[in-house]
Amino acid sequence: MNPAFYSLATVAVLTLSLATTEPAVATDASALANAASVKTAEAPHAGTVQPAALEDTLSTQIAAVDFAVFDSFNKCAAPAELKKHAAFFTEDVEFYHDRGGVTWNRKDMIANTEKYACGHYRRELVAGTMKVFPVKEFGAIEQGVHRFCSFETGSCDGLADFVIVWRKQNEQWKATRVLSYGHRTAEIKTD
């Protein structure tokens, strides 16, 4: 990580946003990276820096790893994809789910994923909701809203908030803590 990046602000809030008023779903890493902007909370002249100026920013890295981890999740009915998905988490990952409870390690978390999610649901990040906060000498905290859609019916009826604590070691990002909470029915818009 470039130390100069952290000097932008005491607390940098990195958000992904799209130039639309309607909630959208970010579906690929390049769309996420192209939509990335950096919002600095306490910098003098707080404002927005476009990703072209910050080629390898933390927000771009986390957007890419978010896409990769959930791309493998969405295909985890295939054993190779489930194995790929598992590799994004530390062995001692803690997963907190407001409805499903807590798992204290990767083995149990992946077993639950395989049993309850693989082949049943796909995850979509709600575009414009991702925020990334740097954690000095550790990694990043990702926060956002996602929805899970049924493969069987195609419906995307629910939304949930999420937080992922990412650790970067040896140029690899791994999730150490995951929270999925605030599960609710998606608002249906009528005109």
Mind listing the domains of the chain with CATH numbers? 3-185 (3.10.450.50)
Q: Which pair of structure tokens corresponds to residue 113?
A: 């994923």
Instruction: Read off the pLDDT band of 23 (50, 70, 90).
Output: very low
Q: Between 30 and 9, whose confidence is greater? A: 30
Q: Residue 164 burial by CB count (10 A; 0-12/13-18/19+): exposed, middle or buried?
A: buried
Given this model, what pLDDT does residue 100 score? Answer: 94
* Residues 66, 43: Cα–Cα separation, whole Å: 27
Residues near 101 by beta carbon (within 8 Å), at least 6 away in sequence: none
Mean pLDDT of the chain: 78
pLDDT digit string (tens) for 125-160? Answer: 999 999 999 999 999 999 999 999 999 999 998 899
What would the mean pLDDT of 103-126 be, rounded to a whole number? 97
CA distance readout (Å), 91 to 69, 83, 110: 15, 13, 11
Given this model, what pLDDT does residue 32 score? Answer: 45
